[in-house]
Each structure stands twice: as structure tokens, then as C-alpha cells.
Amino acid sequence: MKKVLSHALIVIGAALIVIAIALPIYVLPKGKVIPKDVESYTVTDETEGRLLDAAALAAGKPVGDNAKKRECRGDSPTVSCYIWPDVPLQNQRRVIAQEPTTDKEVTLEAGNTVFRTDLPEPQNLIAATIDRVTLTRKTAFPVDKPVSSFDMTSPTVGGGVAEEDTPVFVRDGLQYQFPFGTEKKAYPYFDGQVLKSQDIDFVDKETMKGETVYRFEQTVAPTELYPNVESRLDADGELSAADK
């Protein structure tokens, strides 16, 4: 297993980054099923966020003006000393249907990239993931089989790129598609950062471009990411000390 876990967590831990992707839920007649040729592309507006600098943390060198702060001097600076404020960020996501897809099930592959807009490629990469999940076409819920996977790519402290993927697992929450005939209630929603499902709540009904839509919102409290990510990566074997 590659020595990626710590780097992935540093990058994912930039939740410190706040980026929201609008997920309008259109009310369509019950009995509809997810098409076999799903394809969508979403890009968020540029959003300012806070970013933990993995290279600076590894080198023990506070970033920017943080070096002047009292808590950033000496041998044990606080983690905040390595955080860049007001970093311009964007998120882009492409979802496409893949095999295996049948009359009852559809497999979706979602490529998701978080990047900063003030640097050129490839230095602008914050994190990239490829998420595969098989849904029941009628209900939009994941099938109850260990077929979901989650591949992560992140920059390493040495300036390269590290990749890691989870063993296949069973997923129980919605993510890329709500059920047709969506109701005004909470649904379990899979969080790709925390790698587990939590409720997403119905908030209101509104009109968007002439269509009636339901708006759902989810508030995620400060969460320790290490245990969930570790358990996913550790599902096929024990993590070494270097991996941790």
C-alpha cells in the first residue's frame, strides 16, 4: 500500500474548504427509472477557503505571515501555522454511466477534482477522486452488494502525486441521484469526504427555471476523518506504520 493515507487526510482535512454543489431535485412521475446513458458535468463557482499546506507541515515551516505569530515560533508550532487563508478554490465533477449496467441496475462513475485557481497545472491540484457505485435504477439507492469503490489522488509532500483506492464496499446512502417521486423527508446521503452516510434533510419547495424543485441541506459538524478513511483503506489488510 502506498504511503498516501497521511497526505490524503491532510488534503481532505482542508474542510477547512467549504464548497457546495447545488443538487436540485426535480419532481418527476413515480415509475421512472435512471437512464442507462447518464452523463453530467458540474463546476462550482470560485470560493475562498482555507488550505492546510502538507509540504510546509512536513518541513515545519509556517506559511506566509504566520511565522511572525507567537504560536508559530519554537519547536512545536500549532497546526494553524501551516494553513493558508483565502485560497481561491473550485470543484468540478463529471458523472457518467459505465458497465455493468442492466435493465435493473446502473453503474455510475464520478470523477471529482478540487483545485486552486491561483496556480497552474499540475501544482493547482488539491485532491481528485474516482467514485464508482451501482444503483438500483428504480429506487436510486445503491445495491446491497460490495461493489462500491473510491480511488483517491493527492499531492505528496515531495511534490509528486500519490494514489490509493479502497477495497470494494457496501454503500447505503444516496449520492448522485435522488429517487423519482422524492418525498419531503430526510434521506441517508453518502459523504465522500467522511466515507459514510448521514441524513440530508428536506428544507423547502421552490421554483427554479420554471420547475418545482425540492431543496435538501446537510450540516456536517467538525469530524475526525482518520478513523473512517483508515477503516476503508485497511479493509484488505493492516496499515503499516509508514502508511499511518
Every domain of the chain and the residues it spans: 5-232
Question: Can you list the positions of beta strands (E) in the chain?
Answer: 25-26, 39-43, 47-52, 83-98, 105-116, 125-136, 149-155, 161-165, 187-191, 196-208, 211-217
Please, which residues bridge with residue 88 across strands?
48
pLDDT tens string for the chain (244 positions)? 344 343 334 343 433 334 333 334 334 445 588 999 999 999 999 999 888 887 788 788 899 899 889 899 888 889 899 999 889 999 999 999 999 999 999 999 999 999 999 989 888 888 888 999 999 999 999 999 999 988 877 666 555 666 666 788 899 899 888 888 899 999 999 988 778 899 999 999 999 889 889 999 988 888 887 777 777 666 656 665 545 5
Radius of gyration over every alpha carbon of the chain, rounded to an integer in angstroms: 20
Strand ranges (DSSP E) for 27-142? Answer: 39-43, 47-52, 83-98, 105-116, 125-136
pLDDT, position 74: 84
Taken as a whole, the chain contains a residue count of 244
Report in angstroms the alpha-carbon separations of 119 from 89, 123, 160.
10, 6, 16
Give the pairing type, strands 25-26 and 105-116: unpaired
Gap between the Cα atoms of 141 and 105, Å rounded: 10
> Taken in order 112, 116, 117, 123, is the CA torsion positive or negative?
negative
* pTM over cut 0.85: no
